[in-house]
Protein backbone atom coordinates (compact mmCIF):
# COMPACT_ATOMS: atom_id res chain seq x y z
CA UNK A 1 0.00 0.00 0.00
CA UNK A 2 2.95 2.32 0.53
CA UNK A 3 3.38 2.36 -3.28
CA UNK A 4 -0.09 3.72 -3.98
CA UNK A 5 -0.21 7.08 -5.75
CA UNK A 6 -1.14 10.01 -3.52
CA UNK A 7 -2.29 13.36 -4.82
CA UNK A 8 -3.65 16.61 -3.42
CA UNK A 9 -7.38 15.86 -3.53
CA UNK A 10 -10.17 17.83 -1.92
CA UNK A 11 -12.19 16.00 0.70
CA UNK A 12 -15.13 15.51 -1.68
CA UNK A 13 -12.84 13.56 -4.04
CA UNK A 14 -11.55 11.08 -1.47
CA UNK A 15 -12.25 7.40 -2.21
CA UNK A 16 -11.23 4.02 -0.84
CA UNK A 17 -7.90 4.56 -2.62
CA UNK A 18 -7.05 7.42 -0.25
CA UNK A 19 -7.97 5.28 2.74
CA UNK A 20 -5.62 2.55 1.56
CA UNK A 21 -2.91 5.08 0.67
CA UNK A 22 -2.91 6.44 4.22
CA UNK A 23 -3.23 3.07 6.00
CA UNK A 24 -6.84 3.63 7.11
CA UNK A 25 -9.15 0.64 7.61
CA UNK A 26 -12.87 0.66 8.45
CA UNK A 27 -14.07 -2.16 10.71
CA UNK A 28 -17.80 -2.77 11.22
CA UNK A 29 -18.98 -3.87 14.66
CA UNK A 30 -22.23 -5.08 16.17
CA UNK A 31 -24.24 -2.71 18.37
CA UNK A 32 -23.03 -4.01 21.73
CA UNK A 33 -19.36 -3.76 20.72
CA UNK A 34 -19.60 -0.43 18.94
CA UNK A 35 -21.73 1.42 21.51
CA UNK A 36 -19.98 -0.34 24.41
CA UNK A 37 -23.25 -1.33 26.11
CA UNK A 38 -25.16 -4.64 26.13
CA UNK A 39 -28.52 -3.17 25.12
CA UNK A 40 -29.61 -0.10 23.21
CA UNK A 41 -31.23 2.60 25.39
CA UNK A 42 -34.65 4.13 24.98
CA UNK A 43 -34.27 7.32 22.91
CA UNK A 44 -34.70 10.63 24.74
CA UNK A 45 -37.18 12.15 22.34
CA UNK A 46 -40.80 13.25 22.22
CA UNK A 47 -42.70 9.96 22.60
CA UNK A 48 -45.08 10.94 19.79
CA UNK A 49 -42.19 10.57 17.33
CA UNK A 50 -42.06 6.86 18.19
CA UNK A 51 -45.77 6.24 17.65
CA UNK A 52 -46.82 8.58 14.82
CA UNK A 53 -46.33 7.09 11.38
CA UNK A 54 -47.26 10.06 9.19
CA UNK A 55 -46.52 13.74 9.75
CA UNK A 56 -50.10 14.62 8.77
CA UNK A 57 -51.27 12.93 11.97
CA UNK A 58 -48.72 14.56 14.26
CA UNK A 59 -50.33 15.65 17.56
CA UNK A 60 -47.85 18.46 18.22
CA UNK A 61 -45.66 20.91 16.30
CA UNK A 62 -42.32 19.32 17.23
CA UNK A 63 -43.42 15.90 16.01
CA UNK A 64 -44.86 17.42 12.83
CA UNK A 65 -41.61 19.30 12.12
CA UNK A 66 -39.42 16.22 12.55
CA UNK A 67 -41.66 13.83 10.60
CA UNK A 68 -42.21 16.32 7.80
CA UNK A 69 -38.44 16.70 7.39
CA UNK A 70 -38.07 12.92 7.60
CA UNK A 71 -40.57 12.55 4.77
CA UNK A 72 -38.75 15.06 2.57
CA UNK A 73 -35.36 13.48 3.24
CA UNK A 74 -36.62 9.97 2.46
CA UNK A 75 -37.80 10.99 -0.99
CA UNK A 76 -34.24 11.97 -1.98
CA UNK A 77 -34.98 14.15 -4.99
CA UNK A 78 -31.58 15.01 -6.55
CA UNK A 79 -32.52 18.67 -6.96
CA UNK A 80 -33.26 18.89 -3.22
CA UNK A 81 -29.96 17.72 -1.78
CA UNK A 82 -30.43 19.93 1.28
CA UNK A 83 -33.42 17.88 2.50
CA UNK A 84 -31.18 15.32 4.22
CA UNK A 85 -29.08 18.05 5.87
CA UNK A 86 -32.23 19.82 7.07
CA UNK A 87 -33.54 16.57 8.53
CA UNK A 88 -30.27 15.86 10.36
CA UNK A 89 -30.27 19.30 12.02
CA UNK A 90 -33.88 18.89 13.21
CA UNK A 91 -33.23 15.33 14.39
CA UNK A 92 -30.10 16.19 16.39
CA UNK A 93 -31.96 18.97 18.16
CA UNK A 94 -34.93 16.72 18.91
CA UNK A 95 -32.60 14.11 20.42
CA UNK A 96 -30.82 16.62 22.66
CA UNK A 97 -27.51 16.70 20.79
CA UNK A 98 -27.56 20.50 20.72
CA UNK A 99 -27.97 21.90 24.26
CA UNK A 100 -26.85 25.42 25.16
CA UNK A 101 -23.22 25.89 24.12
CA UNK A 102 -23.49 23.70 21.02
CA UNK A 103 -24.39 24.77 17.49
CA UNK A 104 -25.29 22.87 14.33
CA UNK A 105 -23.71 24.13 11.12
CA UNK A 106 -24.36 23.15 7.52
CA UNK A 107 -21.89 23.44 4.63
CA UNK A 108 -19.04 24.60 6.86
CA UNK A 109 -15.71 24.96 5.04
CA UNK A 110 -12.55 23.37 6.44
CA UNK A 111 -9.01 23.17 5.11
CA UNK A 112 -7.24 19.86 4.55
CA UNK A 113 -3.48 19.78 3.92
CA UNK A 114 -2.81 16.98 1.43
CA UNK A 115 0.53 16.29 -0.26
CA UNK A 116 1.78 19.75 0.68
CA UNK A 117 -1.24 21.61 -0.71
CA UNK A 118 -4.29 23.05 1.03
CA UNK A 119 -7.56 21.60 -0.25
CA UNK A 120 -11.16 22.41 0.61
CA UNK A 121 -13.35 20.18 2.75
CA UNK A 122 -17.02 21.14 2.94
CA UNK A 123 -19.04 19.41 5.65
CA UNK A 124 -22.72 18.65 5.12
CA UNK A 125 -23.58 19.03 8.81
CA UNK A 126 -21.33 19.45 11.81
CA UNK A 127 -21.95 19.98 15.51
CA UNK A 128 -19.73 22.52 17.25
CA UNK A 129 -19.22 22.69 21.02
CA UNK A 130 -17.82 26.12 21.80
CA UNK A 131 -15.14 26.31 19.11
CA UNK A 132 -14.56 22.58 18.68
CA UNK A 133 -16.09 20.34 16.02
CA UNK A 134 -17.38 17.23 17.79
CA UNK A 135 -19.64 15.55 15.20
CA UNK A 136 -19.60 15.32 11.41
CA UNK A 137 -22.44 14.13 9.17
CA UNK A 138 -21.87 13.32 5.50
CA UNK A 139 -24.70 12.61 3.07
CA UNK A 140 -24.36 9.69 0.69
CA UNK A 141 -24.79 11.37 -2.69
CA UNK A 142 -24.14 8.31 -4.83
CA UNK A 143 -27.66 8.59 -6.22
CA UNK A 144 -26.35 11.80 -7.84
CA UNK A 145 -22.65 11.08 -8.46
CA UNK A 146 -20.14 8.24 -7.86
CA UNK A 147 -18.80 9.57 -4.56
CA UNK A 148 -17.66 7.75 -1.43
CA UNK A 149 -19.34 9.17 1.70
CA UNK A 150 -17.24 7.04 4.04
CA UNK A 151 -13.94 8.32 2.65
CA UNK A 152 -15.30 11.87 2.52
CA UNK A 153 -16.31 11.66 6.18
CA UNK A 154 -12.83 10.51 7.22
CA UNK A 155 -11.23 13.33 5.23
CA UNK A 156 -13.51 15.76 7.07
CA UNK A 157 -12.49 14.24 10.41
CA UNK A 158 -8.81 14.82 9.62
CA UNK A 159 -9.58 18.43 8.70
CA UNK A 160 -11.71 18.89 11.83
CA UNK A 161 -8.97 17.47 14.08
CA UNK A 162 -6.51 19.94 12.54
CA UNK A 163 -8.92 22.86 12.95
CA UNK A 164 -9.63 21.90 16.56
CA UNK A 165 -5.93 21.77 17.38
CA UNK A 166 -5.39 25.13 15.72
CA UNK A 167 -8.12 26.56 17.94
CA UNK A 168 -6.53 25.04 21.04
CA UNK A 169 -3.16 26.59 20.26
CA UNK A 170 -4.02 29.94 18.72
CA UNK A 171 -7.23 30.88 20.56
CA UNK A 172 -7.34 28.91 23.81
CA UNK A 173 -3.58 28.82 24.39
CA UNK A 174 -3.49 25.15 25.33
CA UNK A 175 -1.43 22.28 23.87
CA UNK A 176 -2.74 20.43 20.82
CA UNK A 177 -4.08 16.90 21.16
CA UNK A 178 -2.02 13.99 19.88
CA UNK A 179 -5.15 12.01 19.07
CA UNK A 180 -8.92 12.19 19.42
CA UNK A 181 -11.95 10.09 18.46
CA UNK A 182 -14.27 12.20 16.32
CA UNK A 183 -17.85 11.03 15.96
CA UNK A 184 -19.25 10.75 12.46
CA UNK A 185 -22.38 9.66 10.62
CA UNK A 186 -23.08 8.98 6.95
CA UNK A 187 -26.67 9.30 5.76
CA UNK A 188 -28.39 7.66 2.83
CA UNK A 189 -31.72 9.43 2.97
CA UNK A 190 -32.68 8.88 6.61
CA UNK A 191 -30.68 5.65 7.01
CA UNK A 192 -27.48 6.24 9.05
CA UNK A 193 -24.14 4.52 9.57
CA UNK A 194 -22.29 5.53 12.75
CA UNK A 195 -18.50 5.98 12.97
CA UNK A 196 -15.84 6.42 15.65
CA UNK A 197 -12.90 7.99 13.84
CA UNK A 198 -9.65 8.14 15.81
CA UNK A 199 -7.45 10.81 14.25
CA UNK A 200 -3.81 11.10 15.31
CA UNK A 201 -1.14 13.73 14.79
CA UNK A 202 0.86 11.06 12.93
CA UNK A 203 -1.96 10.57 10.42
CA UNK A 204 -2.37 14.33 9.91
CA UNK A 205 1.38 14.67 9.24
CA UNK A 206 1.36 11.74 6.81
CA UNK A 207 -1.60 13.09 4.82
CA UNK A 208 -0.10 16.58 4.78
CA UNK A 209 3.18 15.27 3.38
CA UNK A 210 1.69 12.62 1.11
CA UNK A 211 3.39 9.78 3.02
CA UNK A 212 2.32 6.31 4.13
CA UNK A 213 1.96 6.26 7.94
CA UNK A 214 3.55 3.35 9.78
CA UNK A 215 0.67 3.12 12.24
CA UNK A 216 -2.62 1.83 10.93
CA UNK A 217 -5.71 3.94 11.64
CA UNK A 218 -8.75 1.79 12.44
CA UNK A 219 -12.14 3.46 12.08
CA UNK A 220 -14.99 1.62 13.78
CA UNK A 221 -18.46 1.68 12.23
CA UNK A 222 -21.95 0.38 12.96
CA UNK A 223 -24.80 -0.21 10.54
CA UNK A 224 -28.07 -0.46 12.51
CA UNK A 225 -29.81 -3.83 12.22
CA UNK A 226 -33.33 -3.10 10.96
CA UNK A 227 -36.24 -5.51 10.35
CA UNK A 228 -36.08 -5.30 6.53
CA UNK A 229 -32.41 -4.77 5.58
CA UNK A 230 -33.09 -5.25 1.88
CA UNK A 231 -35.35 -2.17 2.01
CA UNK A 232 -33.11 -0.19 4.36
CA UNK A 233 -32.36 2.66 1.95
CA UNK A 234 -35.87 3.12 0.59
CA UNK A 235 -37.56 2.91 4.00
CA UNK A 236 -35.01 4.62 6.23
CA UNK A 237 -36.70 5.81 9.42
CA UNK A 238 -40.23 5.87 8.00
CA UNK A 239 -41.49 2.55 9.51
CA UNK A 240 -42.02 2.70 13.27
CA UNK A 241 -40.06 -0.49 13.99
CA UNK A 242 -36.97 0.73 12.12
CA UNK A 243 -37.40 4.20 13.62
CA UNK A 244 -37.26 2.83 17.17
CA UNK A 245 -34.02 0.95 16.49
CA UNK A 246 -32.29 3.79 14.67
CA UNK A 247 -33.28 6.40 17.27
CA UNK A 248 -31.97 4.08 20.00
CA UNK A 249 -28.65 3.98 18.13
CA UNK A 250 -28.57 7.77 18.06
CA UNK A 251 -29.21 7.80 21.81
CA UNK A 252 -26.37 5.35 22.46
CA UNK A 253 -24.05 7.35 20.18
CA UNK A 254 -24.34 10.50 22.32
CA UNK A 255 -21.60 9.31 24.68
CA UNK A 256 -19.03 9.53 21.87
CA UNK A 257 -20.01 13.08 20.82
CA UNK A 258 -17.81 15.08 23.16
3-state secondary structure 8-58: CCCHHHCCHHHHHHCCEEEEECCHHHHHCCCCCCCCCCCHHHHHCCCHHHC
Task: Please give the pLDDT value at position 49.
Answer: 98
Give the torsion through C-alpha atoms of 137, 193, 50, 66, to 10 deg.
Answer: 20
10-residue mean pLDDT series, the chain (258 residues): 78 93 98 98 97 97 97 70 91 97 95 95 95 95 70 97 96 95 96 97 97 97 96 94 98 96
The pLDDT score that the predictor gives to residue 8 is 84
Contact between 257 and 97 (Cβ < 8 Å) = yes
Q: What is the pLDDT of residue 123?
A: 95
pLDDT at 146: 52
Sign, Cα dihedral of 72, 77, 78, 80: negative
pLDDT score, position 141: 77
pTM assigned to the model? 0.95
Write down the pLDDT at residue 79. Answer: 45
Q: 3-state class of 135 per DSSP?
A: strand
Are residues 128 and 134 in contact, defined by beta-carbon separation less than 8 angstroms? Answer: yes
Instruction: Note the pLDDT of residue 76.
Output: 56
- pLDDT given for residue 161 in this prediction: 98
Amino acid sequence: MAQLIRSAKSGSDWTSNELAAYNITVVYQDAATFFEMPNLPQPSINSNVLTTLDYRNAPDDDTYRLLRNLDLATIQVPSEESAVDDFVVVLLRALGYEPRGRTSRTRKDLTLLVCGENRLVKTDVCLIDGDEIILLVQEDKRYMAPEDPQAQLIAEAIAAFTANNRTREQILGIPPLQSKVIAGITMTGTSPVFYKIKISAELVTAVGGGAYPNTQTIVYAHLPVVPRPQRRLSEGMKPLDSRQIILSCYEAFKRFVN
